[in-house]
């Protein structure tokens, strides 16, 4: 069974020397998805080949590059190639359980 959730993460800080903010935002989102939806086994990311900053972000988080999709997207009237990335829930280390409980 496959379901798709499309999320566009656009950050004005990427490419301006502030990639840590973008990396942190994507990392938190990925962790949240896997924690809140344990049935999700795989996430995919599609990054334009010329977008080096976004490639670094997904690679830092642990996404694995799986291949090149030629002429895959059209943005502002131009056709772009993209790299396909994936991250499996089994690729992540389990998060430590909090010792504090809310009563």
> C-alpha distances in angstroms, 49 versus 43, 46, 69, 93, 95?
19, 9, 9, 28, 32
- Burial of 54 per CB tally in 10 Å (0-12, 13-18, 19+): buried
Identify the bridge partners of residue 48 per DSSP, sorted by sequence position: 82
Reported as a single tens digit per residue, the pLDDT across 55-85 is 998 999 999 999 999 999 998 999 999 999 9
DSSP, residue by residue, 25-87? HHHHHHHHHHHH-TT--EEEEEEETT-HHHHHHHHHHT-EEEEEEEEEEEETTEEEEEEEEEE
Q: pTM of the full predicted structure?
A: 0.76
Q: At 7, is the pLDDT very low, low, confident or very high (cuts 50, 70, 90)?
A: low
- Domains by residue range for the chain, with CATH: 21-91 (3.40.630.30)
């Amino acid at each position: 069974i496959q379901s798709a959730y499309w999320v566009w993460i656009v950050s004005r800080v990427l490419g301006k020397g502030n990639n840590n903010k973008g990396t942190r935002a994507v990392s938190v989102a990925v962790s949240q998805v896997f924690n809140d939806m344990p049935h999700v086994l795989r996430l995919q990311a599609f990054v334009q080949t010329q977008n080096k900053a976004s490639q670094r972000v997904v690679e830092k988080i642990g996404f694995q590059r799986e291949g090149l999709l030629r002429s895959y997207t059209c943005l502002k009237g131009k056709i772009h190639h993209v790299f396909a990335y994936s991250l499996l829930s089994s690729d992540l280390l389990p998060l430590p359980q909090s010792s504090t409980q809310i009563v």
